[in-house]
Amino acid sequence: MAATMLKERTRAPSVKADPRALLPLNTIIPGDCVEAMRTLPSASVDLIFADPPYNLQLGGDLSRPDGSHVDAVTDHWDQFDSFAIYDKFTREWLTEARRVLKPNGALWVIGSYHNIFRVGAMMQDMGFWILNDVVWRKANPMPNFKGTRFTNAHETLIWASMGEKAKYTFNYRLMKTLNDELQMRSDWVLPICSGQERLKKGGTKVHPTQKPEALLYRVMLATTNKGDVVLDPFFGTGTTGAVAKRLGRDWIGCERESSYREAALERIELALPLDESALTTMQSHRPAPKVAFGTLIETGWIQAGTTLTDKKRRMSATVRADGSLLSGAESGSIHGLGAKLQDAPACNGWTFWHIEHEGELKPIDAIRKLYLLATED
């Protein structure tokens, strides 16, 4: 079953064959990421999302003011004896990443101040063209317990194409729809992975740096299309694979830690793909409230495919992956579709549309308020 997704590959396939036909789609390749990527054919992958070791250089355990231990990253895979060794490792995996990407493919790398500047410089030296640096501002960051620095409340993502003139995928209209008709900016406010999404075993985190699905949701929705192949060289517990499955993308993971592979396979097996109507995307024309409706979908407060109704259940619509709604042949934003179905000049979709929540029919504005309460500082 799930275990069959895991395959051993020991030699690179012939470049004469169709590259996609030779890819181990929807599987995890065990072992070192560089060796694993060397088994893949050249120019075969549409997108790479890389969450490499940050080389945090923590220099000891962290404690809260009350003396309790902080569950930080102390795993051996994040430890390098020198910057030179870390740089050599980075060049090696970036070299393979560049080889397996299609000419119109793209690379995302996430990191912190410990490593992202070194990685970015190497990417430019190797010919990648930086399209954006995106700041993921954490809605609920871990505080600085010692009070010796600013609270580290963000991580940085670099999005790059294969070269200055290279083509790449960017679903601009889709991102605008997701953000309630405002251009999507390069600062993304999303909560860290917590609650039921955080994988635990015996009360302990399975992976110390598990990324939230909302982050990968936005990356894939913005820069891939249905059926594209997404490679994650540092697969961990499978956030990339779970989101790719939901969005109708194929995925490949590389992961050397067996405990992470097992957790990832179990997680992806349970992930439910969105149906066709939810994956269909469009653009509407309405201004944005302080919290975009798409944010509730990205963060899992409202699931794509959910049915919304008016208060008296006379009208209904299906939530789609980009934050738009579908009702019969009509589609639009929560505001635009509500107005269209009522033949009205305007509609406040937050109060018009209702959702079943905890056995009651509630306006979606109630869910927005719950989200704000859960993510407030």
In the block, which residue shows the tokens 């980009």? 322
Tokens of 240: 């990339």
pTM for the full model? Answer: 0.73
* pLDDT, tens digit (0-9, with 9 covering 90-100), for 111-142: 999 899 999 999 999 999 999 999 999 887 77
What are the b/e assignments for 277-314, b being 16+ CB within 10 Å?
ebbbbebbebeebebbbbbbbbbbbbebbbebbbeeee
Is the confidence at residue 283, as pLDDT, over 50?
Answer: no
* pLDDT, tens digit (0-9, with 9 covering 90-100), for 230-269: 999 999 989 999 999 999 999 999 999 998 899 889 989 9
Contact present, 41 and 100 (Cβ < 8 Å): yes
Distance CA 80, CA 53 (A): 9
Identify the helix (H) or strand (E) that includes residue 221.
helix 213-223
Contact present, 247 and 46 (Cβ < 8 Å): no
What are the b/e assignments for 331-361, b being 16+ CB within 10 Å?
bbbbbbbbbebeeeeebebbebbbbeeeeee
CA 148 to chain centre: 31
Phi, psi of 326 (to 5 degrees): -125, 125
DSSP conformational letter for 78: G
Distances (CA, A) of 208 to 111, 200, 237, 301, 364: 14, 10, 10, 23, 33
Distance CA 51, CA 232 (A): 8
Is 46 or 12 the better-scoring residue by pLDDT? 46
In the block, which residue shows the tokens 């290279």? 166
Phi, psi of 235 (to 5 degrees): -70, -30
* pLDDT, tens digit (0-9, with 9 covering 90-100), for 64-88: 445 444 454 455 544 678 889 999 9
